[in-house]
Amino acid sequence: MVLRLVLPKGSLEKATLELFAAADLNLERSSAVAYRATIADPRIESVRILRPQEIPNYVADGLFDLGITGRDWIEETSSTVVSLGELKYSKATSRPIRIVLAVPQNAPWQTVRDLPDGVRVSTEYPAITQRFFKEAGVEAEVLLSYGATEAKVPDIVDLVVDITETGRALQAAGLRIIDTLCTSYTELIANPQAFADPEKAHAMRQINTLLQGVLHARGKVLVKMNVPADQLDEVIALLPSMKAPTVNELFRSAGYAVETVVAKSAINILIPALRDQGASDIVEIPIAKIVA
């Protein structure tokens, strides 16, 4: 049995397509704006590229077996789906996005409970926002925003509930974050009935393994080296504890072959230090996937 897959269009589109390509699940489509695509993989029957806001409902309704969207839209739509796990990437970084409550910089409010009843709020997440204010005991007028949410303060609304990855856009708009409603990573989600099918569930898990392997490998490299026997302890002490190194005796030599995975950001310090401790034939190798 093969899967019907739906992927997000818009801000997540480029990062998602790059992830699938790195996982050797390359998408083919007639143009960069086409909504239909194919993947040359026997587990995937068809691919559609749609707005992430719509994907949770479509997957829950069984129009697709498998999809990628944000936790924010799963919560906003209250869709019944199976999460196969977080895919820790977003449009700009590997950090999650946050749905936050932001007020003007000069506003006196420090928490949601400081807000007066009748406060006007602009947001693309009305359901999440209404639940949040109800739980806080504040009567708010929640207005649906179709974009540029931060630009509506103070002329149209008093404050906003908006997404942020770094917080810079809100700050540039003269807003200050006072609370976080939801933290959202991208997730791989499945239709519950499709996931109950053992063959489809197995195919879904295999695809998830490929995607997670790519994400786990990002920012890491494999380092291999030869180490004299009398310097082994000193070299091992320099290696980060990210992963236990592999150590093998060299053939007809009083030394060892050592290899381990390290953060790419540390390699410029690590390689000279390894050389100083007697390591030789040091090789740095890019990693495409790491599957635990």
- pLDDT tens digits in sequence order for the chain, 292 residues long: 699 999 999 988 999 999 999 999 999 999 988 999 999 999 999 999 999 999 999 999 999 999 999 999 999 999 999 999 999 887 666 678 899 999 999 999 999 999 999 999 999 999 999 999 999 999 999 999 988 888 899 889 999 999 998 888 898 889 999 999 999 999 999 999 999 999 999 999 999 999 999 999 999 999 999 999 999 999 999 998 767 899 999 998 889 999 999 999 999 999 999 999 999 999 999 999 999 8
CA pair distance 132, 126, nearest whole angstrom: 10
Q: Which of 99, 103, 127, 125 minimizes the C-alpha distance to 114?
A: 103
Vertex 52: Cα angle to 49 and 55 (nearest 5): 80
Are 176 and 107 within 8 A, CB to CB? yes
In sequence order, what E strands does the chain have? 3-8, 27-28, 36-39, 44-50, 66-70, 82-87, 97-104, 119-123, 140-144, 159-164, 175-184, 186-190, 220-228, 246-249, 255-263, 280-286
The interaxial angle of helices 198-217 and 13-22, nearest 10 deg, is: 100
Q: For residues 126 and 87, state if they share a domain.
A: no
Q: For residues 86 and 190, state if they share a domain.
A: yes
CATH number for position 69: 3.40.190.10
Q: For residues 225 and 264, state if they share a domain.
A: yes
Q: For residues 37 and 90, state if they share a domain.
A: yes
Residue 169's pLDDT is: 86
Residue 32's pLDDT is: 87
Are 166 and 52 within 8 A, CB to CB? no
Residue 92's pLDDT is: 60
* SS3 call for 162: strand
**What region does 278 belong to: left with phi over 0, alpha with psi -120 to 50, or beta?**
left
Q: For residues 102 and 179, state if they share a domain.
A: yes
What is the sign of the dihedral through the CA atoms of 69, 71, 77 and 83? Answer: positive
Token pair for 60: 């829950």
Q: For residues 191 and 55, state if they share a domain.
A: yes
pTM: 0.87
* Amino acid present at 27: L
Q: For residues 16 and 65, state if they share a domain.
A: yes
Which residues span the domain enclosing 265?
220-286
Q: For residues 47 and 12, state if they share a domain.
A: yes
Structural domain contains residue 25 = yes
Q: Which of 27, 163, 160 minimizes the C-alpha distance to 90?
A: 163
What is the sign of the dihedral through the CA atoms of 86, 169, 265 and 26? Answer: positive
- End residue of a domain, out of 201, 217, 233: 217
* Amino acid present at 33: V
Residue 93's pLDDT is: 62
The CB density around residue 204, as the number of other CB atoms within 10 Å, is 24
Structural domain contains residue 150 = yes
Tally of domains within the chain? 3
